[in-house]
Amino acid sequence: MTKIEDGRNIEIKTPEDYLPVVNPEVFETKKGLVYLQSPGVAVISVPRVDLRGIQGFLDGFPEELEFGDFLKDPTPLPSAETLCKFAGQLCYESFGPNRTVNEYAVKYFENIMESGHGSVLEHANVTMLWWGISRSLTHELVRHRAGFGFSQVSQRYVGGKTLRFVERPEYAGDPYLHKLFEDRIDRTALEYEALTDYLVNKQKGGTEILSAESKTDLRKKVRQAARSLLPNETEAPIVVTANIRAWRHFLNMRCSEHAETEIRRAAFETYRCLYRLAPIIFGDFEVVHLPDGTHGLTTLFPKV
């Protein structure tokens, strides 16, 4: 592994008023079937923190403690870091003049990392949309349970024209494997369409196992049978919500050089977005360049 200095600063093309987003290129086979070669990541929700409501709480303490000036800190922090820092300081009612002010927030969070007291990081949640990822990747992703929530595209309800595929980097870089991939997904899409049409006709003919009362259930009965031929390289968009502590654990696991290549690429794009949102909390990660051309992460604080 080779450490690099600029990996976290690789450009993320984001309009100023957008949350971070990484948009992958979209490709088509000669027959017009859509596929992607890299993951897309869009941050769609972050904490909205407004501490003004705590002023009455602070004013209720003896005046000599000077808690009332807590909100006058002149140094702003990103919302996730503001929330986590306040939660941590509440544990010690550290609101007076001797508290760690925002100017020294780096020192504050370094102490959190070194002590391993990461529970305060669980207050801040970040939600992302991932796309350009395969069904095999999401099977690994949903194993992350503590602190995570998932909503994934359902192949029982979705199919047909929205069907897309994901090409692995091993295939994209090899002309022979790339052609096999394009031929395979074209063939798969045709077989899926033909199977769906056949099942619809059987359904109209009164086949009991395909029967249902509503139109939605009728479509579901067909697609749940037809999806059995879809390969692992079928695209599986997913909305992922996790707290900051859980995201750190995810990055430690999935940006490791030992992680599977596809999920490591998605994890690294996720890191780039998270670093933009909370540069102090994610500032201990160091970017490394791996032999397979992908990026990984290392940190002195793998368990927080």
285: helix, strand or coil? coil
Structure tokens at 206: 């009164």
Positions annotated as catalytic residues are 254
Separation between Cα atoms, residue 103 and residue 119, nearest integer Å: 22
DSSP label of 226? H
Could you tell me what percentage of the chain is helix, strand and coil, using 3-state DSSP and rounding each to the nearest 5?
Answer: 45, 15, 35
Separation between Cα atoms, residue 221 and residue 243, nearest integer Å: 36
Separation between Cα atoms, residue 197 and residue 201, nearest integer Å: 6
Name residues whose C-beta falls within 8 Å of residue 15's C-beta, 6 or more positions apart in sequence: none
DSSP label of 134? B
Helices (runs of H) and strands (runs of E) counted in the chain: 9, 11
CA distances for 302 relative to 100, 124, 250, angstroms: 24, 19, 10
CA distances for 254 relative to 74, 78, 115, 263, angstroms: 37, 25, 23, 6
